[in-house]
């Protein structure tokens, strides 16, 4: 049916081992033979079978990735992960977590394929489960901090991000700055810390935490809560861009002008934030840096390197048009 290494070897008049040498690109074949084998392989349409390769090699060079299929930011990370893995010779295997496919299933499926390391994007597994997982396979957690950690963590310095955003608002003259909290979402605790620290450092004690979450829906609810508070804050830092969008839609629907009545800052610098008609001031994470660190770390762990410390990537404030001095 499908053409194997055997076919190529026969057709080229060499041994299977030789074809293997050529395709692994290791030394042990003359240039002339190399060319002939490649030519024959191309002619027959031969492509090495990855599974057989992995099995024979006695390792997979596969890093498994779990991610939330509906989060745009995870999409960006996935793109960056593939880009980061490409030059290493390692392969990426995706395992989505959805409403109907939980994180455990996603991870197990990666292990069943014998991934040598796994990268979890913003996992919601309890940190005990992460420790257990780490005992089974080198694990790198991205975009979430894990307290008493054994797993590797690669994340944005969310405290710094929230601090920068808060300071930006304060420097515009705002004093009543609210934070739409992310609850138990990855990064929420750090953002809270950064916000609090900046408020304190700025001499602002009107710390206002509005319950929220990572979805546009959470943003809507937070928007309504915000409209009901009095005195109403003049600026708000939303947990992320999606949340900010929901909030924006809600408060604008109630006649609040942004940014003249209310300044809004998002988080993540998602694609929507950059649209001219939205132009959301936000805190950008660096997916490429995060992804690069994550695969580098994952591969290093799989190669037997000792665990290193948590790695933190600095965020950057992107000032657009949803922030202005208070009324």
Partner DNA sequence: TTCGATGACTAGAGCGCTCTAGTTCGAGGT
Partner DNA sequence: ACCTCGAACTAGAGCGCTCTAGTCATCGAA
Residue 54 contacts its own copies per CB under 8 A: yes
Residue 109 contacts DNA per CB under 7 A: no
Go through 242-271 and write b for each residue having 16 or more CB atoms within 10 A of its CB, e for each that does not.
bbbbbbbebbeeeebebbeebbbbbbbbbe
> Shortest gap between Cβ of 309 and its own copies (angstroms)?
27
Q: How far is Cα 224 from Cα 236, in angstroms, rounded to an integer?
A: 13
Query: Would you call 290 helix, strand, or coil by DSSP?
Result: helix
Among residues 284, 232, 231, which one has the least CA distance to residue 263? 232
Q: How far is Cα 50 from Cα 73, in angstroms, rounded to an integer?
A: 30
Query: Which residue, 23 or 73, has its beta carbon nearer to DNA?
Result: 23
For DNA, the binding residue among 10, 11, 33, 175 (CB under 7 A) is 33
Region binding its own copies by CB under 8 A among candidate stretches 111-119, 188-196, 233-241, 298-306? 111-119
Q: How far is Cα 294 from Cα 156, in angstroms, rounded to an integer?
A: 12
Instruction: Report the partner that residue 183 touches, choosing among DNA, its own copies, none (CB closer than 5 to 8 A by kind).
Output: none
Residue 98 contacts its own copies per CB under 8 A: yes
Distances (CA, A) of 91 to 65, 66, 67, 140, 248: 11, 14, 16, 16, 40
Query: Which residue, 28 or 126, has its beta carbon nearer to DNA?
Result: 28
Residue 275 contacts its own copies per CB under 8 A: yes
Residue 39 contacts DNA per CB under 7 A: no
> Shortest gap between Cβ of 315 and its own copies (angstroms)?
21
Distances (CA, A) of 217 to 225, 238, 248: 13, 12, 11
For its own copies, the binding residue among 34, 72, 202, 204 (CB under 8 A) is 72
Q: Two tokens at 268?
A: 């993540």
| Residues of this chain that bind DNA (CB under 7 A) | 1-2, 4-6, 14-18, 20-21, 23-24, 26-30, 32-33, 46, 48-49, 52-53, 55-58
| Residues of this chain that bind its own copies (CB under 8 A) | 2, 47-52, 54-55, 60, 69-70, 72, 75-76, 78-79, 82-83, 91, 93-96, 98-101, 108-109, 111-114, 216-217, 220, 223, 245-246, 249-250, 253, 271-272, 275-278
């Amino acid at each position: 049916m499908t053409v194997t290494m055997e076919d190529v070897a026969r057709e080229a008049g060499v041994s299977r081992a030789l074809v293997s040498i050529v395709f692994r690109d290791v030394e042990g074949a003359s240039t002339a033979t190399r060319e002939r084998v490649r030519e024959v392989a191309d002619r027959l349409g031969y492509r090495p079978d990855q599974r057989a390769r992995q099995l024979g090699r006695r390792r997979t060079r596969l890093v498994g990735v779990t991610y939330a299929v509906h989060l745009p930011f995870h999409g960006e990370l996935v793109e960056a992960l593939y880009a980061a893995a490409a030059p290493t010779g390692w392969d990426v295997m995706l395992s989505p977590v959805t409403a109907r496919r939980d994180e455990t299933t996603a991870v197990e499926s990666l292990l069943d394929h014998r991934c040598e390391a796994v990268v979890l994007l913003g996992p919601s597994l309890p940190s005990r489960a992460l420790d257990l997982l780490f005992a089974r396979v080198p694990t790198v957690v991205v975009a979430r901090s894990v307290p008493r950690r054994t797993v590797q963590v690669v994340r944005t310095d969310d405290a710094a991000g929230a601090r920068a955003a808060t300071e930006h608002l304060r420097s515009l003259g705002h004093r009543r700055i609210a934070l739409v909290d992310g609850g138990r979402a990855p990064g929420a605790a750090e953002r809270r810390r950064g916000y609090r620290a900046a408020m304190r450092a700025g001499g602002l004690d009107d710390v206002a935490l509005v319950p929220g979450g990572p979805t546009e829906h959470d943003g809507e609810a937070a928007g309504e809560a915000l409209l009901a508070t009095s005195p109403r804050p003049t600026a708000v830092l939303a947990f992320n861009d999606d949340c900010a969008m929901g909030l924006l839609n809600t408060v604008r629907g109630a006649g609040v002008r942004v940014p003249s009545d209310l300044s809004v800052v998002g988080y993540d610098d998602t694609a929507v934030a950059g649209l001219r008609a939205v132009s959301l001031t936000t805190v950008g994470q660096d997916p490429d840096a995060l992804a690069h660190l994550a695969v580098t770390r994952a591969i290093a762990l799989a190669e037997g390197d000792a665990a290193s410390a948590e790695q933190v990537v600095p965020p950057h404030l992107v000032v657009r048009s949803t922030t202005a001095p208070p009324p």
